[in-house]
Amino acid sequence: MFRFPLQTFTSQPTALSRMLAMALVQTLQVTGLFASSVNVSQLPVIQAVQGQSVTATCLFRFTNKNYTTDYGKWFRQNDGQDREYIKSLHHCEPSSTLYKCNVTVQFPAVTLMDAGHYNCEIKVPSPMNPVDNVGNGTELVVHAPPSMSDIIKSAETVMADISIRLTCKVNDFFPEPISIVWYLQNTRMTNGVKSMPPLKGSEGEFSVYSHLMLTPKAKDQGLNFTCQVHHITLSAPMSRSISLSVKYAPTNQTLYHRSSDQDKPRVLSRRRIYTPPGSYLELQCVVESQPESVVKWLNPGGTMLSNASNSNATLTLNPVQERDEGMYECSATNDYGSEKMKIRIDVNPESTLAVRLVTYPLFVIIVSSLLLYSRFCKDHFQSIFINAEENETLETDNLP
């Protein structure tokens, strides 16, 4: 029987023995018994909106199912902090040569507090050279869309010509950059707008106030003011609106009149009206106010003739009598002030249309006649003076 010299085999390795040793190491490496490294793949960045469900997964491949139940874990490690391991799930699918494995961590409803840097750690046991690798890390970025409160008024009651502040509050947003714009109807406002710097909350969220200072007028009654918010998390601007109910005293008091219930009321510009006895006269007093005013008509003796609460009142004299003549007053009052207007009614028989049709032409004829007569007299006397001067001149010339 042939025998190899023991000393020759053990102390002087041949080229064949070296090749066998290298093949053995390679076999151990690929089978996981002598593993040196495993590549871990994970996304560099995951972006999410607060409240969403987020799953982070790392992937790796290994040539032998040689692991324990705790081979893969996720941990969180922000700058200067210790590792914070998180409950993770791992799963492998075998194939003819490789095992494809993944480790996942889930956030059912992600919050701003979950944002940070996460790593996937892989441990593969090996009798000779166990593997302990960490991925390059995943940055979880969480955004929070803003929420808005209703616009707040600095005073419960908005009064004309008194300054007021409208406040728009935007809450719980991230990241910090945000734009707030005010509109009156559909026109952007710049005057009176002041937005404060955002404030950071305990959980990383931001909030901000924007103010609009204005001095409303009576004409601003019912106008819409809108606060509009633009943020990276919004696919369309978010807005809140408020319609101003401006309170003001009676103003723009106007009188209308008509002489028949079939006529259309006309504005009465004068504060005196003539009407014949037996005729029809209707006066309507209208004011603008908020809230509506109580409007009253008072006769010359101070007795109330009509009373209405919808900012207008009507005085009807039918038929007009001579005793109706005098000064009448229309007063309008609400919680914020009052306004009065007086008008004199003259009951004059000569104010009838028939009398006017006769007297006016007669007046014109008389005046015209006087003018003609005056002109005739002037021409006649001038002719007399001229003839007298001529006669005096002739007599002078005939003297010896």
When pLDDT is averaged across residues 276-298 and rounded to a whole number, the result is 93
- pLDDT of 106 > 50? The answer is yes
Domains in the chain and their CATH numbers?
25-143 (2.60.40.10), 147-244 (2.60.40.10), 248-351 (2.60.40.10)
- pLDDT of 68 > 70? The answer is no
Of residues 370 and 292, more confidence is placed in 292
- pLDDT of 70 > 70? The answer is no
pLDDT band at 26 (very low <50, low <70, confident <90, very high): low
Q: What is the predicted pLDDT for the residue at 123?
A: 81
- pLDDT of 129 > 80? The answer is no
- 3-state secondary structure string across the chain: CCCCCHHHHHHCCCHHHHHHHHHHHHHHHHHCCCCCCCCCEECCEEEEECCCCEEEEEEEEECCCCCCCCCEEEEECCCCCCCEEECCEEEEEECCCCEEEEEEEEECCCCHHHCEEEEEEEEECCCCCCEEEECCCEEEEEEECCEECCCEECCCCEECCCCEEEEEEEEEEECCCCEEEEEECCEEECCCEEECCCEECCCCCEEEEEEEEECCCHHHCCCEEEEEEECCCCCCCEEEEEECCEEEEEEEEEEEEECCCCCCCEECCCCEEEECCCCCEEEEEEEEEECCCEEEEECCCCCEEEEECCCEEEEEECCCCHHHCEEEEEEEEECCEEEEEEEEEEECHHHCHHHHHHHHHHHHHHHHHHHHHHHHHHHHHHHHHHHHHHHHHHHHHCCC
pLDDT in tens, 223-263: 999 999 999 999 999 999 999 999 999 999 999 999 998 88
Whole-prediction pTM value?
0.64
Q: What is the predicted pLDDT for the residue at 16?
A: 63
Of residues 149 and 79, more confidence is placed in 149
- pLDDT of 9 > 50? The answer is no
Q: What is the predicted pLDDT for the residue at 281?
A: 94
Q: What is the predicted pLDDT for the residue at 95?
A: 72
